[in-house]
């Protein structure tokens, strides 16, 4: 065994002993991902069902009744009849109804000439839910129109690929795994290296014949394994507890996760290379990696909807590529072109950060 | 007694604001976050890329497709000639949806009165998929209505007229940005208070505090006031930016907003001081703050509605002060509410504040004797 290899082995062994003695690293790598996965998995959902809708029907004919009656069949609505618009408006103000449907008394007569009007008021404060409710109503109206009125019409046959039940959890959870792994990877290395400086043991290490690159390799190996254990646990939880399908190949998932873990660890090392204090390193890790991974990675807010300048900004965030890969591997399968393209960007960023780390960390004590 | 408390308050302010770096950290990052998140946190669809596969190429199909070209929400990126091109385009995310018009579209439309159109949507982001499908639905239904009116009706037909209250253009920004007022006030207040006692303990000055004639109540007041002042100050800056930078309308009464902000800050300070009196080091304080903050933000209705959560989780959110403040801030900003509509929220936040502050004081006491 060459001396360099022996030194690295010794460092790795030392690091493992430290992990076993001080379980805070295990807490960051294993407990934290599970805690976050539970909170996000149960807490974040964009599926609005059984939305309370106030109905005011002044018309008496069968067509209006047909329209309202259809709402009861839908899982999206839980309709309630109100006697007058004033009462319905009161319900909207109090938050008891998300939307009001108003069919006026002249509806039947107007409808026969094709000029009927079904009026809808939605509470627009929560714009996304309002849009979804509006969309459900439009879908309902389109079907009603085809069934009741028009002899000719266009029947839409939507097919939603990769997520036929349109369950938001299926796309949110893979994204959440990316966010969590970002936090775990950076926090692990950033805190551990900073701790070494704080306690003065880094200086002791530097006085030995180990080179700085050996120190870095000795740090990366154990925390890489620890981080991957957390990743594996998260994938299992998503798959079996939250029932997210995993269509793509497990090997490909493992390969890109390794690559991403490397990028996250490199970011952590980079942070620790200019902050030798655990507290600042921890805060920097949260502000510079966790928050961008949350807001700018496309995990919940679609990148295509952001302003152009912010879309550019997302390109320097490694989580963005990992989120795309994970969503694809979980739901769509092995789309090699897409996965490879994003993996190349991720590898590029990982190499960039590792290069910065190598430049920044020379053997010196200042 | 009050001179002692005032002295402690002054000392706290000096400890927090003495350092230039610390002053910048209190103001800089929150404002940068507000600006970036304010623009990034949007669910609004914009220029959805789509492809067209028209096997009919008739007058009717072109008329239908023209409606998409006129819509701002869509951007046509490809015209397909073969069916197997669809898979490739969607898989690689070059388009979000493909409109497939089968052959005989026009003849079926006019003769049989029922012409299918296939829409294939990438469901990897189910929210975006649903919103896009809704737009397609709307265009299709209007097309049907129009055709029916032109060619004669066989039954009743009606138009759906949708209006939105409070947020007529349904802009996500109006929903998210007022929420950020609460989010950042919480982050800053929690950071200031969660580390305050741990910092003293690390520096050894907590023992010095203990030998002064101060009782736990005075200590509590002395530690609460600076957090409150900083929280209210930070909150005010963000409210101003929300109104003047993002142009979100502030329709309700400003006092109603500030009463909410006051109670909210107090409840967060209580949580922060509790964390701080348990934590032995600043690092533990930071960890505790993080452990509180993640569920507090996730289970608040900040980005996704509480109504969508499982029943049990919904019950759990009743202990979350941020949940109540979000209601206050959104009702005041958008719905123009006054104090009378917000009494429940005030009361709940005040109750959480009293409990947490009281517990924190008890915990100081335990540490003192």
Contact B156 A108 (CB under 8 A): yes
Residue B166, in any domain of the structure? no
Contact B124 A149 (CB under 8 A): no
Q: Is the pLDDT assigned to residue A346 strictly greater than 70?
A: yes
Q: What is the pLDDT of residue A201?
A: 83
Chain A residues with CB inside 8 Å of B145's CB?
Answer: 114, 145, 149-150
Q: What is the pLDDT of residue A364?
A: 58
ipTM: 0.82
Give the sign of the dihedral formed by CA A286, CA A289, CA A294, CA A296: positive
Q: Is the pLDDT assigned to residue A366 strictly greater than 60?
A: no
Residue B167, in any domain of the structure? no
What mean pLDDT do residues B151-162 have?
Answer: 75
Q: What is the pLDDT of residue A128?
A: 87
Residue B160, in any domain of the structure? no
What mean pLDDT do residues B341-352 have?
Answer: 94
pLDDT digits (tens, 9 = 90+) for A251-295: 999 999 999 999 999 998 888 877 777 777 877 787 788 888 888
Closest approach of chain A CAs to the CA of B109, in angstroms? 6
Q: What is the pLDDT of residue B80?
A: 92
User: Which of B88, B123, B326 has the highest number of chain A CBs within 10 A, making it the mutation to test binding with A?
Assistant: B123
What mean pLDDT do residues B138-164 have?
Answer: 80
| Confidence band, pLDDT 50/70/90 cuts, at residue A152 | low
Report which of residues B144 and A326 the model is more confident about.
A326
Residue that is last in its domain, among B105, B122, B151: B151
Distances (CA, A) of A67 to A48, A150, A151, A153: 21, 15, 18, 18
Choose the weakest-confidence range: B35-39, B225-229, B342-346.
Answer: B35-39
What mean pLDDT do residues B268-274 have?
Answer: 94
B199 lies in the same domain as B346: yes
Q: Is the pLDDT assigned to residue B79 strictly greater than 90?
A: yes
Q: Is the pLDDT assigned to residue B155 strictly greater than 70?
A: no
Confirm or reject contact between B153 and chain A (CB < 8 A): yes
The nearest alpha carbon in chain B to A326 belongs to: B124
Here the tokens at position A325 are 């890969």
Q: Is the pLDDT assigned to residue B367 strictly greater than 90?
A: no
Residue B186, in any domain of the structure? yes
What mean pLDDT do residues B241-254 have?
Answer: 93
Q: What is the pLDDT of residue A215?
A: 84
Output the CATH code of domain A51-149. Answer: 3.40.1710.10
B230 lies in the same domain as B319: yes
B108 is in which domain, residue-wise? Answer: 48-151
pLDDT digits (tens, 9 = 90+) for B167-208: 888 888 999 999 999 998 998 898 888 888 877 887 788 878
Report which of residues B331 and A206 the model is more confident about.
B331
B74 lies in the same domain as B182: no
B140 lies in the same domain as B244: no
Q: Is the pLDDT assigned to residue A188 strictly greater than 80?
A: yes
Among B93, B141, B305, beta carbon nearest to A145: B141
Contact A153 B148 (CB under 8 A): yes
Residue B157, in any domain of the structure? no
B126 lies in the same domain as B212: no
Chain A residues with CB inside 8 Å of B295's CB?
Answer: 39, 43
Confirm or reject contact between B107 and chain A (CB < 8 A): no
Choose the weakest-confidence range: B154-158, B286-290, B326-330.
Answer: B154-158
Q: Quick check: B76 and B166 in contact, CB under 8 A? A: no
Confirm or reject contact between B299 and chain A (CB < 8 A): yes
Chain B residues with CB inside 8 Å of A118's CB?
Answer: 158-161
B255 lies in the same domain as B201: yes
**Structural domain boundaries in chain A:** 3-44+167-360, 51-149
Instruction: Count how many domains chain B has.
Output: 2
Q: What is the pLDDT of residue A305?
A: 85
pLDDT digits (tens, 9 = 90+) for A34-44: 988 998 888 88
> What SS3 state is found at B135?
helix
Q: Is the pLDDT assigned to residue B323 strictly greater than 50?
A: yes
**Burial per residue of B268-298, b for 16 or more beta-carbon CB atoms within 10 angstroms, e otherwise:** bbbbbbbbbbbbeebbbbbbbbbebbbbbbb
DSSP per position, B212-261:
SS--HHHHHHHHHHHHHHHHHHHHHHHHHHHHHTS-----S-HHHHHHHH
- Chain A and chain B share a number of CB contacts under 8 A equal to 330
Report which of residues A112 and A14 the model is more confident about.
A14
Q: What is the pLDDT of residue A150?
A: 54
| Mean pLDDT across chain B | 87
Confirm or reject contact between B310 and chain A (CB < 8 A): yes
| Confidence band, pLDDT 50/70/90 cuts, at residue A18 | confident
The percent of residues in chain A predicted with pLDDT above 90, rounded, is 31
Residue B162, in any domain of the structure? no
Q: What is the pLDDT of residue B366?
A: 64
The nearest alpha carbon in chain B to A306 belongs to: B40
Among A148, A305, A337, beta carbon nearest to B42: A305
Residue B165, in any domain of the structure? no
Q: Quick check: B145 and B157 in contact, CB under 8 A? A: yes
Distances (CA, A) of A76 to A71, A134, A311, B310: 8, 11, 33, 16
Choose the weakest-confidence range: A55-59, A236-240, A299-303, B281-285.
Answer: B281-285
User: Which of A23, A37, A108, A124 has the highest number of chain B CBs within 10 A, making it the mutation to test binding with B?
Assistant: A124
Give the separation between CA B286 and CA B291, rounded to whole angstroms: 9
Among A120, A301, A335, beta carbon nearest to B41: A301
Q: What is the pLDDT of residue B369?
A: 47
B62 lies in the same domain as B207: no
pLDDT digits (tens, 9 = 90+) for A153-185: 677 778 888 887 778 888 899 998 998 898 888
Contact A307 B305 (CB under 8 A): no
Q: What is the pLDDT of residue B95?
A: 92
Q: What is the pLDDT of residue B109?
A: 83
Q: Quick check: B61 and B110 in contact, CB under 8 A? A: no
B254 lies in the same domain as B213: yes
Residue B96, in any domain of the structure? yes
Q: Is the pLDDT assigned to residue B346 strictly greater than 70?
A: yes
Q: Is the pLDDT assigned to residue B23 strictly greater than 80?
A: no
B19 lies in the same domain as B144: no
Residue that is last in its domain, among B151, B186, B213: B151
Q: Is the pLDDT assigned to residue B87 strictly greater than 80?
A: yes
Closest approach of chain B CAs to the CA of A164, in angstroms? 7
Q: How many other C-beta atoms lie within 10 A of the C-beta of residue B256?
A: 20
Report which of residues A206 and A343 the model is more confident about.
A343
Q: Is the pLDDT assigned to residue B339 strictly greater than 90?
A: no
Q: What is the pLDDT of residue A239?
A: 92
What mean pLDDT do residues A304-311 have?
Answer: 88
Contact B157 A130 (CB under 8 A): no
């Amino acid at each position: 065994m060459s001396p360099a290899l022996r030194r690295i082995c010794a460092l790795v062994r030392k690091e493992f002993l430290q992990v076993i003695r001080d379980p805070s690293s295990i807490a960051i790598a294993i407990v934290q991902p599970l805690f976050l996965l539970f909170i996000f998995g149960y807490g974040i959902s964009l599926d609005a069902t059984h939305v309370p809708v106030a109905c005011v029907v002044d018309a008496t004919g069968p067509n209006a009744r047909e329209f309202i009656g259809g709402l009861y069949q839908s899982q999206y609505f839980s309709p309630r009849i109100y006697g007058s618009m004033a009462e319905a408006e009161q319900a909207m103000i109090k938050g008891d109804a998300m939307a009001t449907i108003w069919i006026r008394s002249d509806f039947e007569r107007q409808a026969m000439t094709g000029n009927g009007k079904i009026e809808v008021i939605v509470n627009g404060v929560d714009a996304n839910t309002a849009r979804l409710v509006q969309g459900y109503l439009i879908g309902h109206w389109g079907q009603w129109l085809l069934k009741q009125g028009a002899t000719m019409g266009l029947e839409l046959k939507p097919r939603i690929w990769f997520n036929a039940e349109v369950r938001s959890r299926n796309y949110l959870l893979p994204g959440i795994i990316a966010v969590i792994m970002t936090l775990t990877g950076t926090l692990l290395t950033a805190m551990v290296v900073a701790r070494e400086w704080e306690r003065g043991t880094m200086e002791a290490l530097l006085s030995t014949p180990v080179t700085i690159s050996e120190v870095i390799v000795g740090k990366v190996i154990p925390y890489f394994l620890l981080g991957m254990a957390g990743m594996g646990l998260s994938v299992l939880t998503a798959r079996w507890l939250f029932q997210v399908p995993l269509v793509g190949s497990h090997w490909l998932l493992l390969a890109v996760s390794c690559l991403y873990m490397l990028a996250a660890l490199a970011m952590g090392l980079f942070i620790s290379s200019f902050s030798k204090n655990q507290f600042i390193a921890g805060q920097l890790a949260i502000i510079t990696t966790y928050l961008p991974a949350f807001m700018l990675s496309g995990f919940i807010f679609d990148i295509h909807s952001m302003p152009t300048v912010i879309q550019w900004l997302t390109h320097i965030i490694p989580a963005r590529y990992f989120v795309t890969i994970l969503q694809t591997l979980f739901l769509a399968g092995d789309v090699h072109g897409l996965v490879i393209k994003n993996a190349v960007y991720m590898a590029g960023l990982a190499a960039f950060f590792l290069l910065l780390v190598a430049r920044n960390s020379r053997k010196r004590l200042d | 007694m009050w001179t002692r408390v005032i002295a402690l308050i002054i000392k706290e302010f000096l400890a927090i604001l003495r350092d230039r770096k610390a002053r910048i950290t209190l103001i800089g990052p929150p404002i940068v976050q507000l600006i970036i998140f304010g623009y990034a946190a949007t669910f609004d669809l914009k220029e959805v890329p789509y492809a067209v596969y028209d096997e009919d190429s008739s007058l009717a199909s072109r008329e239908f497709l023209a409606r998409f070209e006129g819509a701002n929400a869509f951007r046509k990126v490809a015209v397909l000639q073969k069916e197997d091109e669809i898979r490739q385009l969607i898989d690689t995310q070059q388009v979000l949806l493909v409109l497939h018009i089968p052959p005989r579209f026009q003849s079926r439309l006019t003769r049989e009165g029922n012409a299918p159109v296939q829409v294939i949507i990438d469901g990897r982001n189910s929210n975006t998929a649903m919103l896009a499908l809704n737009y397609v639905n709307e265009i299709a239904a209007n097309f049907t209505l129009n055709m029916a009116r032109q060619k004669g009706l066989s039954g009743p037909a009606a138009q759906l007229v949708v209006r939105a209250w409070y947020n007529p253009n349904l802009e996500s920004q109006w929903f998210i940005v007022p929420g950020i007022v609460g989010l950042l006030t919480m982050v800053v207040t929690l950071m200031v208070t969660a580390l305050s006692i741990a910092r003293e303990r690390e520096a050894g000055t907590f023992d010095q505090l203990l030998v002064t004639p101060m009782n736990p109540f005075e200590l509590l007041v002395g530690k609460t006031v600076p957090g409150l002042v900083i929280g209210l100050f930070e909150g005010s800056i963000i409210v101003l930016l929300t109104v003047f930078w993002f142009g979100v309308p502030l329709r309700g009464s400003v006092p109603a907003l500030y009463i909410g902000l006051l109670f909210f800050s107090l409840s967060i300070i209580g949580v922060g001081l509790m964390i701080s009196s348990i934590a032995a080091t600043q690092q533990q304080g930071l960890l505790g703050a993080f452990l509180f903050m993640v569920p507090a933000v996730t289970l608040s209705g900040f980005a996704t509605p509480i109504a969508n959560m499982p029943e049990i989780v919904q019950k759990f959110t009743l202990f979350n002060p941020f949940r109540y403040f979000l209601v206050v801030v959104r009702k005041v900003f958008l719905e123009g509410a006054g104090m009378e509509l917000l009494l429940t929220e005030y009361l709940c936040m005040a109750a959480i504040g009293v409990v947490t502050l009281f517990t924190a004081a008890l915990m100081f006491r335990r540490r003192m004797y």
